[in-house]
Amino acid sequence: MSEQRLSRGTRGPSQFRSRFQFCFQLPSLGLGLAASLGAGLGAAGWMGDPALALNPVQGKPGELSQSQPGLRIAASSAELAGYDFLTKGWIDDAIAAFETALTETPNSLTVRRGLAMAYQRAGRDEAAWQAYGAVLELDQDDETALRARGEMGVYRPEWQRSGIAALDRFLTLQPGAAAQRAQRALLLGYQQDFAAAIADYDLLLADDNAAALPPALLPNLWVNAAQIYTYGDRVATALALFERHRQAGGQLDDSATLAYGAALRQSGQAAAAIALLEPFSPADAGQAFEGRFVPGPGPMGKTAIRSARAPCCGPCSIPCPRI
């Protein structure tokens, strides 16, 4: 796991208790403490996410109670410490702080959101998934939780449909969010709903839209879309995207290679397809050669690569795509 656990590395337990207890000794400062502890977050919020800035009005520490509208919940010192620790990368300390804050203000949206983020960064996928669900029970339009559930939908096959539902909601709020539309297309493809997936990819890859996409998004968008187009009987488009991906220096994992072989076969390039598929088992190569969807340990394809999480935030059994 590449996440550096400073809370258990560079500082000992006694130092952690001292810092954490100091935060708890300042409850009377309330939101005033946000200015000092939240300085690292900045106006744009955690990791550039405006949904996480320490702002008492816009769904941040000190936001309105969900159970009693109009009643403002003051951010506890534990909550503010949690966001401070999260900013510094002290993930274990952040979890401890948010769990304490949750006992004090169980209806606080920002406490539950912070705890979910900390669980996710710790690689505790199940806990993070449930915690983001709890956030959405309080606010069905919380964009941080919707985005995270959409991203996590690829981690386990049983999460795919909920991930799609989260992204459906997110895209009603942010219809121009290209990364989330690409993620939804990928999940729809995993569910073999190729028509819906292709509709999203067609929109993303339209000339005017593609020109506006971040360059770093394109290579993996091309290869993911190429696989969906292959199995959705859009072979010419698939081959063009595979070639574009390769010309950009992109590599094909086993899943993409099998799909590429299927596309070659369907386009009449049987010899090239046979040569490409030769390293695979007869069963897998045969399915690809016939143009059929190739199941595997991941939701699509034969390999479980970890190309999407940078840095890796914990073990999982299926691929995390770069979208």
Q: How confident is the model at residue 294 (pLDDT cuts 50, 70, 90)?
A: low
Taken in order of first residue, the domains within the chain and their CATH numbers are 1-139 (1.25.40), 182-323 (1.25.40)
Residue 171 scores a pLDDT above 50: yes
Predicted pLDDT of residue 286:
87
Query: Which has more confidence, 146 or 288?
Result: 146
Predicted pLDDT of residue 74:
52
Predicted pLDDT of residue 60:
47
The average confidence (pLDDT) of the chain is 75
Q: Are 313 and 121 in contact (CB under 8 A)?
A: yes
pLDDT in tens, 75-126: 689 999 999 999 999 999 999 999 999 999 999 999 999 999 999 999 999 9
Give 125's Cβ-side CA count (13 Å radius). Answer: 18
pLDDT in tens, 195-209: 999 999 999 999 778
Could you tell me the two tokens for 221? 């968008």
CA–CA gap between residue 190 and residue 232 (Å, rounded): 12
Residue 163 scores a pLDDT above 50: yes
- The predicted model scores a pTM of 0.70
Residue where the block lists tokens 């950009």: 248
Residues in the chain, overall count = 323
Q: Provide mean pLDDT across the span 212-241.
A: 92
CA–CA gap between residue 63 and residue 221 (Å, rounded): 37
Q: Provide mean pLDDT across the span 144-150.
A: 98
Residue 311 scores a pLDDT above 70: no
Query: Which has more confidence, 43 or 121?
Result: 121
Could you tell me the two tokens for 75? 């951010």
Q: With pLDDT > 70 as the criterion, what percentage of the chain qualifies?
A: 67
Predicted pLDDT of residue 75:
63
pLDDT in tens, 271-285: 999 999 999 988 888
